[in-house]
Structure 1
Amino acid sequence: MLALVMLINRTGAMVLPFLSIYMTQALGFTITEAGVVLACFGLGAVTGSWLGGWLTDRYGNFWVQTLSLLVSVPLFLIIPHFTSVEALAAIIYILSVTTESFRPANSVSVARYAKPENITRAFSLNRMAINLGFSIGPALGGFLASFSYNWIFYGNALGAFIATLTFVAFFRKRKGNIKRHTETTGTPASPTRSPYQDQIFLVFSLLCCIYAICFFQLLSTLPLFYQKGHGLTEGQVGIILGFSGFVVVIFEMLLVHMAERRLSYASSIFWGTALCAVSFALLPIPTGYWILYLSIFLMSISEILAMPFMASVAVKRASKQNQGAYMGLNALAFSAAHVFSPFIGTHVADNYGFNILWWGTAVVLVGISGGLYFVVRKM
C-alpha cells in the first residue's frame, strides 16, 4: 500500500523535470538563473531531509508523511503566481522543505512494514512505484505543458491530495512489523549513536551524494540538453523521461532479485555507478535520437543497481531507535545533491558547453564507483 501511495503521488510529479524548461521558456530566465532556483530546491531538500528524520524519530512516520503530503497541495497551486527569480526561488525552497521531509519518514515506513529478509526488495518495490509514476508524470506533464505550464502545477497538487487521502485511509490505525531487523551490514550503530558520528557512514554518504550530483543532471541540465541540443519539444522530452521510469518499472524487481542472489552490496553499487558513467559518456556522440534512449536506458539500469542497495546499507547500519536519523542522513546526501547538481551542471553547460559537462560527469563517476566499492566492503 505504501507503493500505491507513492505511485499516486509520483504520477502527479510533473513539476521538477519541466522546471528548468518552464523557467527558460515561459519566464525568460537564463540557464544560470534557472540553476539558482533549482539549487534552492536542493537547499530545501537538505533542510527537509534533516527535519523529516528528526520529526520521524519524535512523532512517528505517519504524521510526518501526512502533513508533508497535505501541506504541499496549496504550495503547488500558488507557484504560478511567483514569476521573479527571487520569489520563485523562495517558494520553491518552501515547497522542497515540505515535500522532502516525506522521504526519511517514508523510508522508515518501508523498514517498519517490511520483513527483515525483504528490506532491499521492499525498497525496490517502493522505488518501482515511484518510477512508474515518474514514467506517467513527465509524459502527462509534457502534454499539459503544450497547453499551459500552469496545468503542470495543478496536476501535481491533485496527485498530492489524492495520495494524502489514500495514505491516511489505509495507515491511520496500522501497526508496523514488530520483528527487529537483525541482519546487518558490518557492525550496526549503537542505539544512541548519531549517524553524524559514524565516520565510515559519513564517507559512504558523501560518495552517495557525489553519485547523486551526477545522476540528478537527469532532472536539471538533461532536459535542457534535449531541447537545446537536439531540438526536442516538451512532449518529446516528457516521453524520453517517461521511458526512463518505464525501464525501471520493467526491470527493477528482476534485477534487484538477481543482484541480491549473485552480487554483494558493494558489487551491485559499483556496477550501478559505473553504468551511470557510461550513460553520460554516450551523450556527446553525434548520431541521433537513438543514442539518447540508449543513454537513459543505461542510466535507469544504474539507478536500479545502485540506489536500493544504498538505502539498504543505511537501514542495516542503523538500530531501531535511530533509523529516522540514519535514513534522514541518507536522504540528506541525495537532497544535498539537488543543491549542487543544477548549480554545477548549468554553470558548466552555460560556460563550457554540454559535451564538457557530460565527459566530466563520466570521469567523476568512474572514480566514485571505485570509492563506493571500497567503503561498502569495509562496512
Structure 2
Amino acid sequence: MKKLYFNYLNTFKGLSTEVWWLSLITLINRAGTMVIPFLSLYLRESLHFTLNDVGWIMSCFGLGSVVGSWLGGKLSDKIGFYKVMEISLFLTGILFITLQFVHSFAGFCIGIFLVMLVADTFRPAMFVALNTYSKPENKTRSVTLIRLAINLGFSAGPAVGGLIITSIGYSGLFWVDGITCILATVLLMNVLHPKKVRPLDEEKETNPISIFSDKAFWVFFVGMFIFGFIFLQYFSTMPLYYKDVHHLTELEIGLLLGLNGLIIFLLEMPLIKWLEDSEYTKEFLMFIGLFLTGLSFVVINLTGWMGILFVGMLLMTVGEMIAFPFSNAFVMERAKKGKQGEYMAYYSIAFSMSHIFGHNSGMQLISHIGFDNTWNFMILLSVIGLVFLLILIRMIKKEKTIA
C-alpha cells in the first residue's frame, strides 16, 4: 500500500510551479461551477420552462461558448494569455451573481450567452498558459493535472450543490459560482502576474501555418465534436433520466455526478503516466476514449437495474480520462507549427459546438422519442465518431511516413 502511494506521488514529479498554481486557480474556479450540472433542473423546476425551452437555452449556452472560445484564442495571440484569464475570471464572477435575477425565457437566453462568452475566453488562454509553463516532456501530465483540479472541484461541487439546493435553494449556487470566480482572479493576480513568473517554453514559429490548411486537425475536430456531443449528455439529459426514470433526488444525482470527478482525481494521473510510457499513439487512445464513452450508453439501455447507472458512469469516466488529456496533448503538439491561441481556440470550439447542438438535440430527442431511443442515437453517433478517428490514425501514420 505504501509503495502504491509513493508511486502515485511520483506521477506528479517534474511539473513546474506555475502549472501547480494554474491548477489551484482552476480548482477554485471549478469548485464553484455547481450551477452547470443542475442548470437543466433549475430551468425546469424553478423557472418552469418546458423541455423545448431548456433545449434552446442550452444552445445559447453553447453559442456563447463558441464565441468566447474563438475570442479567447484571438485575444491570447494579441494581448497575451494572462490578461485574458484575469478579465475573464473577474467578469464571469459578476455575471454569475447577476444571472440569478433573470427569470424570463428571452432574458435567460441572452444572460447565459453572455456568461459563457466571457467565461470561455478563459479556456484557450489557460491552455496557452499551460503550454507556456510546461516542459515539453511533461505537457500531457500537465494537462492531466489541470483536469484533476477541474474534477476535484467538480466532484465536490455537485455534492455541495445538492446540499445548497436542499437547504437554501438554487440562488445559493449562483452566489457561490460568482464568489469563487472572483477569488480565483485574486489568486491569479498574486501568483501568475507576468512580473513574477518567467515562461518555460518560449518556442514560437517564425512563419506559422494556417490552421485551415491542417487537414488532419479538421478530421480530429469532427471526432472531438462528436465525442463532446455524446459526453455532454451526462450533464444535461442524463440528470433528467436519473430523476424521471430512476427517481433519484438532487442530492443523489449530485453524488453520482460527483463520483465521476472523484474517480478521475484518484486514478487519472497514474493511468495517463502508464499510457504515456506505453507504445500507444495519442490518436489510438482518443479512439479508445470515445469507444468507452459510447459503450456507456449501450449498458444503460440493457437493463432497468439502478446499479447500471454506476456502470455507465464508470465507463464514461474512463473514456473521458483517456480522451481529454491525449486530445489536448495532440493539439498542443500541432500548435507548435501555427498560432497557439488559434489552435487552442478551435480545440475549445469543438466542445463549444457540442454544447450548442448536444444539449438542445438531447432535450428534443427525449421529448419526442424517449430516453431509450435517445441513447440508441448516441450509440450510432459514437460509431460515426470512431470512423473519423480511424481516418485520423491513418492520416497521422501517413504524415510520419512522409516525414
TM-score range, shorter chain: over 0.9
Counterparts of residues 225-304 of structure 1 (less than 5 Å):
225-262=241-278, 263-304=280-321
Kept in 2, the 8 Å contact 1:49–1:332? The answer is: yes
Q: 1:164 aligns with which of 185, 193, 217?
A: 185
Aligned to 2:62: 42
Distance (Å, rounded) in 2 between the aligned partners of 1:367 and 1:374: 11
Q: 2:367 aligns with which of 347, 350, 355?
A: 350
State the Cα distance separating 1:158 from its structure 2 match: 1.4
Residues 66-116 of structure 1 deviation map (CA, whole Å, 9 limit, x = unaligned): 000000111111112111111001000000001011000000111110100
Distance (Å, rounded) in 2 between the aligned partners of 1:176 and 1:190: 18
Kept in 2, the 8 Å contact 1:266–1:374? The answer is: no
Counterparts of residues 1-379 of structure 1 (less than 5 Å):
1-146=21-166, 147-172=168-193, 173=195, 174-178=197-201, 180=203, 191-262=207-278, 263-319=280-336, 322-379=339-396
Structure 1 vs Structure 2: percent identity of aligned residues? 34
For residue 81 of structure 1, give the secondary structure of its aligned residue in structure 2: coil
For residue 230 of structure 1, give the secondary structure of its aligned residue in structure 2: coil
- The 10-residue stretch of structure 1 (264-273 or 278-287) with the greater mean CA deviation from structure 2: 278-287
Distance (Å, rounded) in 2 between the aligned partners of 1:322 and 1:191: 9
Give the alignment's TM-score, normalised by structure 1.
Answer: 0.95
For residue 178 of structure 1, give the secondary structure of its aligned residue in structure 2: coil
Distance (Å, rounded) in 1 between the aligned partners of 2:273 and 2:292: 18
Distance (Å, rounded) in 1 between the aligned partners of 2:140 and 2:105: 40
Partner amino acid, structure 2, of 1:203: V
State the Cα distance separating 1:368 from its structure 2 match: 1.3
Kept in 1, the 8 Å contact 2:34–2:173? The answer is: yes
Quick one: structure 1 residues 90 and 7, their matched pair in 2 at CA, closer, same or farther if it must change by over 3 Å? Answer: same
Distance (Å, rounded) in 2 between the aligned partners of 1:145 and 1:44: 26
State the Cα distance separating 1:286 from its structure 2 match: 3.2
State the Cα distance separating 1:179 from its structure 2 match: 5.3
Kept in 2, the 8 Å contact 1:277–1:365? The answer is: yes
State the Cα distance separating 1:335 from its structure 2 match: 0.8
Distance (Å, rounded) in 2 between the aligned partners of 1:286 and 1:190: 57
Give 5+ residue unaligned stretches, structure 2: 1-20, 397-403
Runs of 4+ in 1 over 3 A off after TM superposition: 178-181
Distance (Å, rounded) in 1 between the aligned partners of 2:356 and 2:285: 26
Quick one: structure 1 residues 275 and 90, their matched pair in 2 at CA, closer, same or farther if it must change by over 3 Å? Answer: same
Distance (Å, rounded) in 2 between the aligned partners of 1:372 and 1:191: 29
Partner amino acid, structure 1, of 2:203: R
Kept in 2, the 8 Å contact 1:272–1:306? The answer is: yes
Quick one: structure 1 residues 282 and 138, their matched pair in 2 at CA, closer, same or farther if it must change by over 3 Å? Answer: same
The number of aligned residues is: 372
State the Cα distance separating 1:284 from its structure 2 match: 2.1
For residue 198 of structure 2, give the secondary structure of its aligned residue in structure 1: coil
Give 5+ residue unaligned stretches, structure 1: 182-188
Larger radius of gyration: 2
Quick one: structure 1 residues 190 and 366, their matched pair in 2 at CA, closer, same or farther if it must change by over 3 Å? Answer: farther
Aligned-CA RMSD value? 1.5
- The 10-residue stretch of structure 1 (318-327 or 44-53) with the greater mean CA deviation from structure 2: 318-327
Distance (Å, rounded) in 1 between the aligned partners of 2:240 and 2:144: 29
Aligned to 2:6: none
Distance (Å, rounded) in 1 between the aligned partners of 2:117 and 2:336: 26
Partner amino acid, structure 1, of 2:55: G
Aligned to 1:185: none
Quick one: structure 1 residues 306 and 190, their matched pair in 2 at CA, closer, same or farther if it must change by over 3 Å? Answer: farther
Quick one: structure 1 residues 287 and 321, their matched pair in 2 at CA, closer, same or farther if it must change by over 3 Å? Answer: closer
Distance (Å, rounded) in 2 between the aligned partners of 1:309 and 1:178: 19
For residue 53 of structure 2, give the secondary structure of its aligned residue in structure 1: helix
Quick one: structure 1 residues 370 and 254, their matched pair in 2 at CA, closer, same or farther if it must change by over 3 Å? Answer: farther
State the Cα distance separating 1:319 from its structure 2 match: 2.2
State the Cα distance separating 1:285 from its structure 2 match: 3.1
State the Cα distance separating 1:218 from its structure 2 match: 1.4
Distance (Å, rounded) in 1 between the aligned partners of 2:343 and 2:25: 23
Distance (Å, rounded) in 2 between the aligned partners of 1:367 and 1:132: 32
Quick one: structure 1 residues 231 and 190, their matched pair in 2 at CA, closer, same or farther if it must change by over 3 Å? Answer: farther
State the Cα distance separating 1:289 from its structure 2 match: 2.5
State the Cα distance separating 1:25 from its structure 2 match: 0.6
